Structure 1
Amino acid sequence: MNVGAPRTAPRENICANGWLRRYRATTGVRRRLLVLPHAGGSAGFFHTWGAAFDSSTEVLVARYPGRHDRLADPCITTMSELADRVTEAILPFHDVPLSVFGHSMGASLAYELALRLGRRHGSRPAALHVSSRKPPHRLTPRALQEQGDEALIEEMRRLGGTDESVLGDPELREIVLPAIRADFTIVGTYGPRAAEPVGCPVYAYIGDDDGGISVADMAAWSDVAVGGFELDVLPGGHFYLVEQQEPMVRLIAARLSD
C-alpha cells in the first residue's frame, strides 16, 4: 500500500455498543486496523494512532469495560468472554481487509479473535500483529490477581506504560484497580495451550530491553503463522512502542493490505 501522509484531526466516534472507538478514514475506507490494548490499558493509550495512518486506513481501538466512560460496565475476567465480545463487535467492520494489532495481553486477545473469525465466521484477518507477549504455547501465567493491591501496582510500575500520577494517587488507584485486577485475572488464567495456526501472516514486535519476554519467545509466534512470519526488534522495554511510535507505525502501515 501507499502509506501517504498521516491524517490530522480524524473524525472519531464510539460504536459497536461502546466496544470500539472508531477513527474514520477521510478518503474512503480501503483497509482497517483493529488495535487491542494491554492489561490495565485503555483506548486512550492509542489515541495518537488514530491519525498516524493514511487517509484510507480506518483505525478501530477496543474499549474494554470497567474504565473511563465504561466505568460502570462490569469488568470481564476471562479471555474467552473478552474474545467473544470483541469478535462480535468487529464483525460489521470486516467488509474491507482487517488487520489486528495487540500489545501484551492484547496480543493474546488478537490471536483468539483471529481463531474465532476462522472457526465461527469463515473469515480471517488480513494479518495478525503481536507485540510484547509470548505465543499461546509458551505462556507461563502468573497468578498476580490473587495477590494484594500493592503487588498489582508494583507490577504496573515494573512494566511501565501507566501514568505514575494515577498509580500514586489513592483515590485514582481505587478507581482503576478493579479493571487492572480483572485484566490480570485474564492474563493469569490464560494458557499455555496448543499452537493452533491462524490462516494469515503474523508479524511480531518486541523491545530489545523487555525484561519479561525474550526475542526467542516472540520468534516462536512463527509456530502459528502458516501465512508467513516476520519479527522486528526495536529499542526499548515492554512499552517500547511509546518512544518508537513512528517506526512502529511505518512497519505496520507497510504491511496493511487493500
Structure 2
Amino acid sequence: MVTEERDRTALLCVPFAGAGPSFFHPWRALSAGRWPVVPVELPGRERLILQTPYRNVFEAAKNSVDDIVANLGEGARTMLFGHSLGAVLAYELVHLLSARDVRVERLLVSGSPGPWTQRERRATGLPEREFLARIEEFAGFRHEALDHPEMRDLILPVLRADCEMHENYVPSTEEPVSVPICSIRGSSDHLVGAEEAQEWRKATTGEFSYAEFPGDHMYLVDRVGEVLDLIEAECARGR
C-alpha cells in the first residue's frame, strides 16, 4: 500500500486501450525504488474482468478517483503517466485529484495528441475482422492472444469499449490544468505526429516539455528503462 510511503511521490500509471495493471508491474522493479508505482485498475480486465468496461472517459475517471485516493492516502503526492487512451484518462484524473487533497506534481502523457484533437482513423463500430486489423494498424503489431478464439472473446469487448471511449472523448472542461506536462512520443509514430503531441502545451498553465524515443506508437514496450529515467529527470525539474 502506498499509504505506508506517504512521504514519497507515487507514480500513478493509467493503462492504454486493452491493457490492465499488470503491464506496469515490471515498472516496479525497473524503477529501482525511485517511487511507488501504482497502476490504475479499470473494469473488464484482470481482477475486474467480470465488470462491465467503461465507454466514457470522464465516467471512468470519476468512478475510479475514490479508489485511487484511498490507495494513495490523504495528502499524497503523485505524478501521473498515461499512454494513448491512458493519457486522456490521466488528464481527467488530474482535474479530479487536484480537488481531492492529492498533490499532483506532474502529468506525463504518451502517444497522444492534445486532449481536444480526435483521431481521424477510427476503429469504433467496425466488423470484427476489420476492427482487429485497425487495432493491429494502430499498435504496430498483432497481440498473439487475439489468435486464440477463447482469449479473443475475452479481450474483444474491452478493446471495443476502450476504443469507443477514446475515439469519442471530449474533455470535461475547457480549463487547462496547472500542473507541468511532459508529452512523449515514439519518433516513428504514424498515429500521433510531433505537432499533435506538442498540442499538450495548451493543456497546462504550468511548464511544458516534450521528448521523443526511437520507435512507433508502442515504443514504450521496449523503452521502459529510458521512460523511467525521463520521469526521474522530470521529477527533478520540479524540485
Determine if the TM-score, normalized by the shorter chain, exceeds 0.5.
yes
- Conserved in 2, the CA contact under 8 Å of 1:25 and 1:56? no
- 1:50 equivalent in structure 2: 28
Give the partner amino acid of 1:65.
P
Alignment gaps of 5+ in structure 2: none
Are 2:91 and 1:111 aligned? yes
Q: Contact 2:79 / 2:106 at 8 angstroms: preserved in 1?
A: yes
Q: Which residue matches 2:192?
A: 213
Question: Deviation per CA, 1:146-189, whole angstroms, max 9, x where unpaired?
Answer: 11122221122123377632011122101111111110110121
For the 8 Å contact 2:11–2:37, the answer to whether it is kept is: yes
CA distance in structure 2 between the aligned counterparts of 1:222 and 1:135, rounded to whole angstroms: 8
Match of 1:182 among 161, 177, 187: 161
**Deviation string for 1:73-100 (max 9, x for gaps)?**
1111111210102222222315332100
Normalization by structure 1: what TM-score? 0.82
Amino acid in the other structure paired with 1:37 = P
- The 2-side partners of 1:214 and 1:32 are apart by 30
Counterpart of 1:98 in structure 2 is: 78
Matched AA of 1:211: H
Tell me how large the CA RMSD over aligned residues is. 2.4
Amino acid at match of 1:64: L
SS of the residue 2:107 aligns to: strand
What secondary structure, in the 3-state scheme, does the structure 2 residue paired with 1:190 have?
Answer: coil
Where does structure 1 differ by over 6 angstroms across 4 or more consecutive aligned residues?
Answer: 25-28
CA distance in 1, matches of 2:47, 2:101: 33
Structure-2 residue corresponding to 1:59:
37
In structure 2, C-alpha distance between the alignment counterparts of 1:237 and 1:143, rounded to whole Å: 18
Q: Which amino acid aligns with 2:116?
A: H
8 Å contact 2:177–2:203 — kept in the other structure? Answer: yes
Q: What residue is the counterpart of 1:233 in the other structure?
A: 212
1:125 correspondence with 2:104: yes
Tell me what 1:71 maps to. Answer: 49
Q: Aligned in 2, Cα 1:78/1:192: closer, same or farther, shift over 3 Å? A: closer
Q: Aligned partners of 2:194 and 2:30: how far apart in 1? A: 26
| 2:231 equivalent in structure 1 | 252
Query: Counterparts in 2 of 1:183-198, with a 5 A limit?
Result: 183-191=162-170, 195-198=174-177
Deviates more, 1:169-178 or 1:248-257: 248-257
Aligned to 1:19: none
Is the contact between residue 118 and residue 167 of structure 2 (CA under 8 Å) also seen in structure 1?
no
Q: What TM-score do you get using the length of structure 2 for normalisation?
A: 0.88
SS of equivalent to 1:217: helix
Amino acid at match of 1:105: L
- Would you say 1:243 and 2:215 are equivalent positions? no
The 3 A distance-change label for structure 1 pair 156 and 45 is farther
User: Which stretch shifts more, 135-144 or 223-232?
Assistant: 135-144
Comparing 155-164 and 198-207, the one that deviates more: 155-164
- When structure 1 is superposed on structure 2, of 29-38 and 62-71 the one drifting more is 62-71
Q: Take 1:229 and 1:113, find their aligned partners in 2: how far apart are those partners?
A: 18
Moved more, 189-198 or 209-218: 189-198
1:145 aligns to what SS in structure 2? coil
Quote the residue 1:8 is aligned against: none
Q: Distance in 2 between matches of 1:117 and 1:25?
A: 16
Identity percentage over the alignment?
28
CA distance in 1, matches of 2:221, 2:197: 19
